[in-house]
Structure 1
Amino acid sequence: MAETKNTVKRKADHIRICLTKDVQSHRSPGFEDVYLIHNALPEISLTEIDTSTKIFNHKLSHPIIIAGMTGGTRKAAKINASLAEAAEKLGLGMGVGSQRVALEDPKQEYSFKIVREKAPTIFLIANLGIAQLAKDYGVDEAIKAVEMVEANALAIHLNVLHEAVQVEGQVDFKNVLKKIEEITHSLNVPVIAKETGAGISAEVAKKLEEVGVKGVDVGGVGGTSWAAVEYYRAKEARKKLNQQLSLTFWDWGIPTVISLIETVKSTNLTTIATGGVRNGLDIAKAIALGANVAGIAFPLLKLAVKDSEKTIWKLKCIIEELKIAMFLTGKKS
């Protein structure tokens, strides 16, 4: 029970710090170095542009996933509800945050289940952490996570940097690839390997593909830094060593654009581009580089705390930016 309370507090800390502190990477995701070729004679109508796509045979109205952020607290439930309502209305995909807290304490399940209640038709991604797989989680917990939210896929988040600098971090990751392989062969939904801000290299992407992972969320450098979040937590707890470690590794990792190119060029995996995706032009560039869809998290967080309407408005802007980028490059779909 003490461990569950610690997990709940940590989730609350994460939301609070992300909402009140500067936790963004000082490095760019790399989208400013990607130039789309302007077409001065597009010969198409902006109003006829079709942004729909498919991910694992599930249709999306637009190539956008609201990336998994949170769960396990009352505020997290409100955020997830707002995000789910937006995803349902606009035909987007969505992920939930780590479900560890709800597996430890079923009373916290409501903060995750609310997503499917609010969004009965969306492509929904469940979420477990590699740290828990390295410790004692396995196929049973993976199945429970998927069933809890009636998910269409399971993300296994690879947050080794986060764990390494965190006061309570789990740092033994021996034999995790074998655990991932067991899960990919046991679930009836695809497994997605999801980095959380440090990116995925070609070598790691290949290993994941070899053990049956079907998708990769590259989660590169350029967006929210979880080392930054842990810097503030360590500062509040007066843990000077963890504070210094978090500061040193604030910007550690592979920028999103580089990670995306590495993954696309080296595998046949379904690829989600996240990490510093801030607008529709970033999404257009990510897709031009080979991503199937793009994921957005931080720009929606503060809006989702308020209500779904503000979240919907922001997403509509992003969708319109994507359409204009397609129009200016002469791409109808």
Structure 2
Amino acid sequence: MSEIERRKRDHIDIVMAGVARHSAPAGFDAIHFSHNALPEVDYAGVDLSTVFLGKALRLPFLASSMTGGPDVSERINRSIAEAAEQLGFAMGVGSQRISLTTDDRSGLGLELRRIAPSVPIYGNLGAIQLVNGMGLDEARRAVAQLEADALILHLNPLQEALQPGGDVNWSGVEAAIAHLARHLGVPIIVKEVGAGISADVARRLLSCGVAAIDVAGAGGTSWAAVEGHRAGSPAGQDLGEIFRDWGIPTPRALLDVSTACPGLPLIASGGIRHGLDAAKALRLGATLTAQAAALLPAAMAGTDAVIAHVEAYATALRITCLATGSKDLAALRAAPLL
């Protein structure tokens, strides 16, 4: 196992252990819908479908990017792909960096498209890699590898700064994103990994030509804490704790970015625990909601567990629609808040 593969397996183990979360939840508990005691809505007819980047989905859900060592990635990806095809939600894969530079595909190949032919699949590269030897050719290969509908570029400057040997020269990344957006040929989604995206950064990304943003705010997994747990020294562990709670909470990021960039498709991730949190995120401006760490135990357990997890999410979301008198997601986005 290479050092990169070992690190990614460490990430899975630490997240599964539940020791690397932000100290406080994202803040969705402070948001309350006004209850509608006379909804005039048929629960069985509530429509949770949506369209994202031109693709129809039966649920406004994205299984967000997860990655691990080669012995677990294939199992995770297959479980999610099978469930996504059955339930009609989107999936994003973990970083394709290893699969583009070695013979190890780790479940990142056309087999995923054969398993899930009708749902969106999103490729994934670290944006920092665009100034570290990867560019348009590698991005095109990442898309072709999966027949992907879009490419996610993840932003993780804090994580890289805390990671031994991390990439810390971010000069030129914005221009590289703009170049890729002009020439790649499929939509680009830009996401953070748990520290949030501000209104200013969202405007800059929109100017670059990105098609959608995942605000990926604080309130779920803290990648500063993850790297602190991986650190081989007390100093590294201390830094991880210092920055454990760094970031913009997901609801704040959603409000700011949706106001700054009206009409831009947004994904809400970072501390989305269940369908009620998802409903609140949709009300605040999200087009889709996403989970990674919350979905990981189910993905490790297999397809049936993923299906059960996402169905529970959908049930809570549908109940919220009923209790707010919302027959569909468009109505939910206008539901009154207290």
User: If the TM-score is normalised by the length of the shorter chain, which range does it land in?
Assistant: over 0.9
Q: Report how far residue 106 of structure 1 moved.
A: 2.7
For residues 149 and 68 of structure 2, the distance between their equivalents in structure 1, rounded to whole angstroms, comes to 18
Q: Which residue of structure 2 lines up, in the alignment, with residue 315 of structure 1?
A: 310
For residues 111 and 293 of structure 1, the distance between their equivalents in structure 2, rounded to whole angstroms, comes to 23
Q: Is the 8 A contact 1:60 1:93 kept in 2?
A: yes
Q: Which residue of structure 2 lines up, in the alignment, with residue 300 of structure 1?
A: 295
Is 1:7 equivalent to 2:4 in the alignment? Answer: yes
For residues 292 and 125 of structure 1, the distance between their equivalents in structure 2, rounded to whole angstroms, comes to 16
Aligned-partner residue type, residue 196 of structure 1: V
TM-score with structure 2 length normalisation?
0.94
Q: Which residue of structure 2 lines up, in the alignment, with residue 186 of structure 1?
A: 183
Q: Is the 8 A contact 2:16 2:293 kept in 1?
A: no
1:152-193 per-residue CA deviation (whole Å, 9 max, x = no partner) reads 011100011110111121100001000000100011211011
Q: Report how far residue 5 of structure 1 moved.
A: 1.2
Deviates more, 1:73-82 or 1:190-199: 73-82
For residues 293 and 299 of structure 2, the distance between their equivalents in structure 1, rounded to whole angstroms, comes to 10
Number of corresponding residues: 327
For residues 325 and 112 of structure 1, the distance between their equivalents in structure 2, rounded to whole angstroms, comes to 37
TM-score with structure 1 length normalisation?
0.95
For residues 244 and 113 of structure 1, the distance between their equivalents in structure 2, rounded to whole angstroms, comes to 42
Q: List gaps (5 residues or longer) in structure 2.
A: 329-338
Is 1:289 equivalent to 2:284 in the alignment? Answer: yes
Is 1:249 equivalent to 2:214 in the alignment? Answer: no
Q: Which residue of structure 2 lines up, in the alignment, with residue 61 of structure 1?
A: 58
Describe the SS at the equivalent of 2:327: coil
Q: List gaps (5 residues or longer) in structure 1.
A: none
Describe the SS at the equivalent of 2:2: helix
1:202-222 per-residue CA deviation (whole Å, 9 max, x = no partner) reads 000000000101100000000
Q: Report how far residue 107 of structure 1 moved.
A: 2.3
Root-mean-square deviation (CA, aligned residues, Å) is 1.3
For residues 101 and 118 of structure 1, the distance between their equivalents in structure 2, rounded to whole angstroms, comes to 22
> Which of 77, 82, 86 does residue 83 from structure 2 map onto?
86
Is 1:123 equivalent to 2:117 in the alignment? Answer: no
Is 1:104 equivalent to 2:98 in the alignment? Answer: no
For residues 33 and 107 of structure 2, the distance between their equivalents in structure 1, rounded to whole angstroms, comes to 43
Q: Which residue of structure 2 lines up, in the alignment, with residue 25 of structure 1?
A: 22
Describe the SS at the equivalent of 1:330: coil
Describe the SS at the equivalent of 2:104: helix
